[in-house]
Structures are given as structure tokens and as C-alpha cells.
Amino acid sequence: MQQLDVITFGEAMAMFIANQPGPLHEISQYSLELAGAETNVAIGLTRLGFQSGWVSKVGNDAFGKFIVNRLKEEKVDINQVLVDTNYPTGFQLKSKVTIGDPEVQYFRKGSAASNLSIDDFNEEYFLSARHMHMTGIPLALSSHTRAFANHALALMKRNGRSISFDPNLRPNLWTSKEEMIQATNEIAFQVNHVFPGIKEGEILTGYQEPYDIASFYLDKGVELVIIKLGEEGAFYKTQIEEGMVPGYKVQKVIDTVGAGDGFAVGVMSGLLQGLPVHETVLRGNAIGALAVQSPGDHTGYPTSSQLNDYMANHFQGVK
């Protein structure tokens, strides 16, 4: 079995991006793309030269075939992507905007991915990876996917693998805010690295300052907490060091979706290579900046040489 650097799991969807700005119900032409927080991460890491695997289910339909083909093109390992003949692949509609966040409508209830269960779990495949990246989305999709996530976490911890976690809160998928906070923090307390956005951190901890949010998780045993602050950059804290890393200013923000996943890609790439924390956060900021300058969720993610060129030729905090 192929050895992997990183493994992740979750739901991918076919995404129809509007070809022109306007309300979704008025758009007649769309372009087909791939969407999914965990697939974004897997794609971003393979572009940087890492071996990444993505685990999920897709329907036996055109959307499922599209997802599989796109991941093959990106050289993501899909040996544990299962085809479900009973449930369909989810999809979404996404608006085109000139400023701000796009409108997104999801059609994912009862999808094949939401039926991923412990019965589908391949222990040998997970243990072929030295690191696992999780998001909070599988926790919210269904009881099946939440059980799968907890099972994966327990296995990887028991076998000494490092684990990172991006809360990626989706309030609309939860029955209550309280359940979302409890289930998300139960996972966050058990991992090595946590990457919440500042608003997510406020919701999950009740604190507003990055220092206090980070301390909340460090006190529970987390090794590294990085708070994403958008264009301002990111704040990081461990038990022995802390710092603020300014973001890269961009000329024009085209689409913010996927920037957080790109940030995680940059950070994980640095951690996997043993770089200092400050440098790993700098990488995350750079990929996040590249991501917001492109329309697709992961279109702007760079190769290793493109990332190095961008970091060498763009100044932090300056247009």
C-alpha cells in the first residue's frame, strides 16, 4: 500500500459557479467545479509535492464520476473513495460576486458522503499516513459520519499520528448551537493542532481575543493553536512561543471560499517539513492570499515553486 503524508475525509460536491454576477435564480449559465473543504486540502498538498489521500463516498452518477476524475487529475490518492449505488452525490450553486462573500446554496441532504460509516473504515489505509487532517463538517453531516470521524481520531491518536483540526463551522447543518460547540470542542481537545477562524474561536470558546482563544485550547492539551484573522494574518501560540504573522495584502479579492483550507495547506506543509511555527504560518497566509484572488475554491492553490516565488516577491502588510 502506498505510504501517504496526509489523509483526510469528508464530503465533496459538484459545484456550479455562476458565470456572471447576480441572484442565483436569475443566472442561466454556470461552470462546473469541485467543492469540499477536505478535497481542497488534499489537492493543495499534492500540488506542493506531498502524497495525500481522501476518503469518502460518492454516488453512482455523473457528479460522482466528475469528482473522482478531478481528484485523479490532481494526483490525490482515491483508493478509499467508495461508490454508493443507493444515495446520490451532493451538489451546490455558488454566485459570482465582485465584492464580499458569494451566495451558496447546498443540495446535500441524504448524500452518499453523509452515509459514510464505520463499516466503510479501512484501518490499514489510515495508518499508511503520518498525519491526518480533520474538519468539523463530517461531525455535522450525520451520526454515521460523526462516528466515522471519532473512530478515525481514536485510531490515529492510539498509533501516534499527528492530527490537525479546522472547525469549519456550518451552523445550518447542526440541530443547535450548543450541540455544535460541544461536538466540535470534543474533537478539538484531542488533536495536536487547531486552526479556527477568529469568529469560530469566539463561538467555540466564548473569548474574543486570539490569545485567550488559543489559551483555551492549549489548557486542554493542544500543542499548537493558530487563529486565522483574515487579511490581518494569523496569531499562533504554543506552550513555549506565540506571535502574530501579518497577512499578504492583495490587489483584489475575488472569492474568499477556500482561503481557510489553503491556509491549512500552507501550515501543514511547513509542519510536515519541520519548519519553525512562524514560517509555517507565513506559508498559510501566502496560500490564503493566493486563494482569494481566484474564483474556484482551490483554483489559486500553488505548486511549491509558485509558492516560493509568491513569498519572495510579495511583501506582507503592503499592497
Positions annotated as catalytic residues are 261
Going by the DSSP 8-state scheme, the letter that residue 243 receives in this structure is E
Concatenating the DSSP letter of every residue in 102-115 gives PPEEEE-TT-SGGG
Q: What percentage of the chain's residues is helix, strand, coil (to nearest 5)? A: 40, 25, 35
Cell 455544535: give the residue: 180
| Stated length of the chain | 319
CA-CA distance, 127 to 105, in Å (whole number)? 35
User: Quick one: angle between helices 277-291 and 304-313, nearest 10?
Assistant: 100
- Beta-bridge partner residues of 234: 228, 245
CA-CA distance, 83 to 239, in Å (whole number)? 44
Residue 40: CB partners within 8 Å, gap ≥ 6? 258, 261, 262, 265, 297, 298, 301
For residue 11 the three cell numbers come to: 464530503
